[in-house]
Amino acid sequence: MLLTALASATAAETSDTPLRSELYPADWQPAVPDDEGRLLPDFSYAGYRYGATPPDTVPGPVLDVTRPPYGADPSGEEDATEAIQEAIDDAGAAGGGTVHLPAGTYRVQPPDDSRAVLHIGADGVLLRGDGPAATRIHTTTAHDMRGRAVVLVAPDRRDRVSWHDEPSGPAVRLTRDVELPTRTLPVADAGAFSVGDWVVLRADTTDAWLAEHPVAADQRWDEGTLEALVLHRRGTAVDAAAGTAEIDIPTRLPLLRRDGARLHRVPAPLVGSGVADLAIGMRQSGRREADAEEDHERPGTAGHEVHQADAIAFNGVVDGWASRVHSYRPPENEDDVHLLSGGIYVRDARNITIQDVDLRRPQYRGAGGNGYLVHLMGSDTLVRDSLALGGRHNYLVQAVQATGNVVLDSRAVDGERATELHRHLSAANLFDNVAVTGDTLEMTYRRASDHAHSATESVMWNVSGKDCTRGRLAESRQYGWGYVIGTSGTGDCAVVENPGGQGTEPRDWVEHVGAGDRLEPRSLYLDQLARRTGQGQATAPPVEPSSGEVTPSPEPGPDGGVPVAVVAGTGLLLLTAVVGALVLVRRRRR
């Protein structure tokens, strides 16, 4: 009883003591694993220009779409698609510029020959309104929106850029295996590259690689399932004498000569274009529903009509951004619907910043990639200070090319399913100060289709929850190592599951459960960015699990006991308290 009382007193005295992760000491260095091979990736390269603030203005003319020669109608009465597109094209032809949509509502509809309603296809173009409460883009029909975006930022409005495309020219092999994150690549012919080259580093998913990544028999992966391991980079230095080429962002996956690891040039991406200060609302489909989950495959249904219709899409882009973009409910929508299917989609694009966005309530949340409000299939995207509400998955990261992405200081509310890493071994992604309400977080082996290993070397840092679904705040079951460090929440939101199994051993690292409010640094991304840039840690207020403007209606989670990781963490805290009490007694006796 005395020990219990002293332990409680000591715990109370130290309840405000800051905590650090064992894997992130004050003298942490990137790419240095501990004796067990544990390694927190360096996430500091995420975002526009490796973490810089996206611009509010860009060089070039400012083109007001309501003025001649454009004459777009801001009243919402007449279609403005052609006028806005003409201004976008003129800004691109001028070498960049701002397309200004003054306060008002702009009606748009999809043309017949494009995967977009509006297309930004040149460097340095900013589509900007007067704020999401003032400037609104309104799609007036759901017809022909299948597979299209309201705003597409991409080199081509018809064909998609893919990092997996085989190179047209020769590839240069690596001369040594690359197993730890590095920016220096040993190559057979460094003279084949120049500073500034855009390149893709790739390795095949060979039979040997597949044997090292076992999946369930009914989820068979073959050499074409993941296509290849790919990393899009830019050359920053070449040393022909040493036989090395340096790239701008570290590697994220082991790349082995056994698997044909190689480097090759690719065409230049679109660079430095964005969307800001406006809202997008999409008129809902009036078609019937047969089976909401599978309607995307049934012509004549609402799900088929709006399958993978997004508000904004980035493809083949570097250093793009979406700032202060909201969704809204068009007044003619009978249901509380803002969007048709998706919110913001990043595919085979990198260093995109998505900040201060508020995306809500898609109409279709069926299978096949629908209802994803922030959907990341590129690399080193930074999502920050954002809200996603009512999606099938509010935030979702998927595919082997999805590496180095960061979701920071953002909220996920009322997700039908988890905010998660979704499939095909996404490496080194970070949920940093993500707060869920009526949602849950997952980086786990998934039994759906051929999804299987969804994640490796990915991190949940200082995450929190309220009214968590599925009986837990978070689950981590990653291939190799995964990490959950610092959590906050009560009830189901105090639960972190760390089951292991399914070929994911070792069991993931879980630390400081229930003590996220004491974790230092508060943000892993901001601290790593400050270390790399030498500017001191940027600060931002902590994210609250909910706000007055959102009324969550969480689904009940399954019954379940306290996971081993939580019990172990509680036991460790109790042991620490008892030891502290004994030390206190000895000191007082002296």
Task: Give the pLDDT score at 536.
Answer: 60
pLDDT at 290: 85
Task: Say if residues 138 and 330 touch (Cβ distance below 8 Å).
Answer: yes
Q: What element of type H or E holds 584? A: helix 564-589
- Mean pLDDT for 284-299 is 93
Q: Which of 112-121, 338-347, 522-531 is least confident?
A: 112-121
- Claim: this prediction has a pTM higher than 0.85: yes
* CA-to-CA dists, residue 262 to 151, 167, 254, angstroms: 34, 11, 12
Residue 476, both tokens? 């981590």
DSSP 301: B
Tell whether 176 and 114 lie within a shared domain.
Answer: no
129 pLDDT above the threshold of 50: yes
346, part of any domain: yes
Does the pLDDT value for residue 9 go beyond 70? no
Residue in 329, 443, 333, 456 with CA at minimum distance from that of residue 393: 443
Mean local confidence (pLDDT), 328-342 = 97
Q: Are residues 202 and 255 in the same domain?
A: yes
Rounded CA gap, 518 and 16, in Å?
A: 7
Banded pLDDT at 139 (limits 50, 70, 90): very high
How far apart, in whole angstroms, are the C-alpha atoms of residue 367 and residue 364?
9
| 543 residue type, one letter | V
Could you tell me which residues come within 8 angstroms of residue 212 by beta carbon, excluding any fewer than 6 positions away? none
Computed over every residue of the chain, the mean pLDDT equals 90
- Whether the Cβ atoms of residue 186 and residue 239 lie closer than 8 Å to each other: no
Q: Token pair for residue 505?
A: 């051993």
Residues 582 and 462 in one domain: yes
* Overall average pLDDT of the 228-233 stretch: 98
**What is the per-residue pLDDT for 72?**
98
Q: Is residue 222 over pLDDT 80? A: yes
Residue 389, in any domain of the structure: no
Backbone φ, ψ for residue 574 (5° rounding): -65, -45
Q: Are 32 and 39 in contact (CB under 8 A)?
A: yes
The total of structural domains in the chain comes to 3
Q: According to the model, what pLDDT value does residue 14 have? A: 56
Distance of alpha carbon 289 from alpha carbon 292, whole angstroms: 6
Mean per-residue pLDDT, 105-129: 94
* Residue 285, token pair as written in the block: 């489909």
Q: Say how many C-beta atoms besides its own lie within 10 A of residue 268's C-beta.
A: 14
Contact 328, 339 (CB under 8 A): no
* Beta strands at 229-239 and 198-203: parallel, antiparallel or unpaired: antiparallel
Residues in the chain: 590
Domain match, 261 and 274 both = no
Q: What is the pLDDT of residue 408?
A: 99
Q: pLDDT tens across 406-463, in order?
A: 999 999 999 999 999 999 999 999 999 999 999 999 999 999 999 999 999 999 999 9
How far apart are the C-alpha atoms of 244 and 236, rounded to whole Å?
11
Q: What is the mean pLDDT of residues 470-498?
A: 98
Q: What is the pLDDT of residues 148-164, one digit of tens each?
A: 999 999 999 999 999 99
395 assigned to some structural domain: no
Domain end among 240, 265, 290:
265
Buried b (16+ CB within 10 A) or exposed e, 552-572: bebeebeeeeebebbeebeee
What mean pLDDT do residues 138-157 have? 96
Residues 318 and 365 in one domain: yes
Interatomic CA distance for residues 427 and 81, integer angstroms: 39
Q: In the listed set 246, 265, 284, which residue is the last one of a domain according to the structure?
A: 265
**What's the CATH number where 278 sits?**
2.160.20.10
Which of these three, 237, 265, 293, is where a domain ends? 265
**Structural domain contains residue 136:** yes
pLDDT of 183 > 90? The answer is yes
Flag whether 470 is in a domain: yes
Whether residues 283 and 259 share a domain: the answer is: no
Asked if 144 and 88 sit in the same domain, the reply is yes
- Which residue, among 422, 480, 478, has the nearest Cα to 451 in the 3D structure? 422
List the helix and strand counts (H, then E) for the chain.
6, 41
3-class SS of residue 445:
strand
Amino acid 577: pLDDT: 38
Q: What percent of the chain has pLDDT over 70?
A: 88
- Residue 101 inside a domain? The answer is yes
Pair (188, 137) in one structural domain? no
Contact 382, 350 (CB under 8 A): no
Tokens matching residue 70 = 């454009």
Residue 540's pLDDT band, with cuts at 50, 70 and 90, is very low
In a domain, 546, yes or no: no
Q: Which two tokens stand for residue 211?
A: 């044997």
Closest CA to 227 of 215, 212, 210: 210
Considering the domain architecture, whether residues 502 and 425 belong to the same structural domain is answered as: yes
Q: Do 321 and 292 lie in a common domain?
A: yes
**Whether pLDDT at 537 is above 60:** no
562 and 486 in one domain? Answer: yes
Residues 35-64, mean pLDDT to the nearest whole number? 98
Q: Let me know whether 481 and 587 are in one domain.
A: yes
Least confident of 1-15, 214-228, 274-288, 363-377: 1-15
Residue 547 lies in a domain: no
| Domain region containing 232 | 172-265
pLDDT at residue 34 in the model: 96
